[in-house]
């Protein structure tokens, strides 16, 4: 009985470690225009990357958000998001970033992140939660490997796991 429980514990622990991995963030070629404030961290994306992610999402069959965000590349947009997914969104951009493309862009390394002390975060840890039965989206938590603080939480369509944004 003891060996069975030990084997079960090792199996459960191995599942958790396989779901976590480090993502190296790359330098963005253009100035990011969309800035997400999340628990003291600032996560910035380019509108070009958001639009490309929306096009890839539409290719999977999800046309909920369209193929473009409709933002002007000359502007700057600041959005505040909160942990969890049970909040009332006030702006469509909040829904778009937290439930459609934000987690995908960070997973692809297409984000510029600063911690609360305005230091650049060069890598993040992602924890992909298992898909729930009947759900097509996975819940992902990104943490700072230096202090284990949560940087971002969001949803990503399972069909987006192997999508590539390509080279700018």
* Domain assignment of residue 15, yes or no: no
| pLDDT of amino acid 20 | 81
Tell me the CB-side half-sphere exposure of residue 71, using CA atoms within 13 A.
24
| Contact call for residues 25 and 128 (beta carbons, < 8 A) | no
Residue 124 tokens read as: 């993040």
| pLDDT of amino acid 15 | 43
* Domain assignment of residue 90, yes or no: yes
| pLDDT of amino acid 7 | 38
* Domain assignment of residue 119, yes or no: yes
| pLDDT of amino acid 106 | 96
To which H or E segment does residue 53 belong?
Answer: helix 47-59
The count of structural domains within the chain is 1
| pLDDT of amino acid 17 | 42
- Domain span holding position 137: 21-160
**Helix residue ranges, H only, 118-168:** none
| pLDDT of amino acid 56 | 93
- Mind listing the pLDDT tens digit for each residue in 32-57? 999 999 999 999 999 999 999 999 99
* Domain assignment of residue 84, yes or no: yes
Cβ neighbours for 14, distance < 8 A, ≥ 6 positions apart:
none
pLDDT in tens, the chain (168 residues): 444 343 333 444 444 444 688 999 988 888 999 999 999 999 999 999 999 999 999 999 888 899 999 999 999 999 998 776 556 678 889 999 998 999 999 999 999 999 999 999 999 999 998 777 777 888 999 999 999 999 999 999 888 877 887 755
Extended beta strands in 11-50, E state? 20-24, 34-38, 41-45
* Domain assignment of residue 165, yes or no: no
Question: Distance of CA 72 to CAs 43, 79, 108, 167, Å?
Answer: 19, 15, 23, 22
Secondary structure of residue 120 in the 3-state scheme: strand
Q: Are strands 150-157 and 112-114 parallel, antiparallel or unpaired?
A: unpaired
Residue 71 tokens read as: 């933002």
| Contact call for residues 144 and 135 (beta carbons, < 8 A) | no
* Domain assignment of residue 167, yes or no: no
């Amino acid at each position: 009985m003891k060996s069975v429980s030990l084997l079960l514990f090792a199996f459960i622990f191995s599942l958790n470690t396989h779901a976590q991995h480090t993502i190296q963030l790359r330098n963005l070629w253009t100035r990011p225009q969309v800035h997400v404030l999340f628990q003291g961290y600032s996560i910035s994306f380019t509108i070009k990357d958001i639009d490309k992610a929306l096009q890839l999402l539409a290719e999977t069959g999800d046309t909920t958000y369209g193929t473009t965000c409709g933002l002007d590349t000359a502007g700057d947009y600041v959005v505040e998001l909160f942990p969890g997914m049970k909040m009332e969104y006030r702006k469509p951009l909040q829904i778009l970033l937290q439930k459609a493309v934000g987690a995908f862009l960070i997973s692809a390394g297409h984000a510029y992140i600063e911690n609360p002390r305005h230091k650049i975060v060069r890598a993040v840890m992602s924890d992909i939660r298992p898909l729930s039965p009947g759900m097509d989206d996975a819940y992902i938590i990104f943490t700072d490997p230096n202090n284990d603080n949560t940087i971002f939480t969001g949803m990503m369509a399972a069909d987006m796991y192997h999508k590539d944004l390509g080279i700018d």
